[in-house]
Amino acid sequence: MLANLQWAIWLRVLGSAVFPLAVILAALLERSLLSVVLIALAMTAGRWLALRHHPSMAGRTASRLLAIFASRLIPSAILFIAVLGVSALFKETSLVREIGLVDMALALIPLGMSVAISRFFGSILDSRRQAMETLFRTESARRSRPDETEGPIIEGEYERLDDDEDGPR
């Protein structure tokens, strides 16, 4: 089971890296800055798909999604411009002026990968959570009814809990 958790963590790291890698690839392919906006929209959609049943998304959904979009767009644009700037040092760059199928692929392939990885990661965590809940339930049930075979039985006085007037006998 530990191997599954390690695998899930590596997949989660990969899932977190697919969108920045898409932005870097868009800059290297000299795509439009609009492709970065499209990738940021895909990141926002992926976040919404991952958290749509989470209590933090309840209520102010539109404002929360706008904040998520802005928090994805700004670093993506900075990364795009930085990679494009470094690329311009070594070759002449000319950005594409429209959005095409390549831009759609740069946004949708990472989105699909991210959603699949999130679902796989969530299923592994749910199975681990259920196993831990079962362990805690059985442990608390075992402690609530003491077993006669646990520890030595000491003969002597005892206090009756149901009879407060008499005291110890």
The one-digit pLDDT tens for each residue of the chain (169 residues) are 567 778 777 877 888 888 899 999 999 998 988 999 999 998 888 877 777 666 555 555 677 778 888 888 898 999 999 998 898 888 888 888 888 899 999 999 999 888 888 778 777 777 777 888 888 777 766 665 555 555 555 666 555 555 555 555 5
The domain containing residue 41 runs over which residues? 2-144
* 12 domain residue, yes or no: yes
- Alpha-carbon span 169 to 164, nearest angstrom: 11
Residues 17 and 123: beta-carbon distance below 8 Å: no
| Domains in the chain, number | 1
Examine residue 85 and state whether it is found in any structural domain, yes or no: yes
Whether residue 87 is contained in a domain is answered as yes
Q: Is residue 122 part of a domain?
A: yes
Burial class (CB in 10 A: 0-12, 13-18, 19+), 20: middle
Q: Is 61 contained in some domain?
A: yes
| Domain-embedded: residue 158 | no
Listed residue (93, 83, 66) closest to 22, CA to CA: 83
62 assigned to some structural domain: yes
Find out whether 21 and 110 touch, Cβ atoms under 8 Å. yes
Structural domain includes residue 160? no
Is this structure's pTM higher than 0.85? no
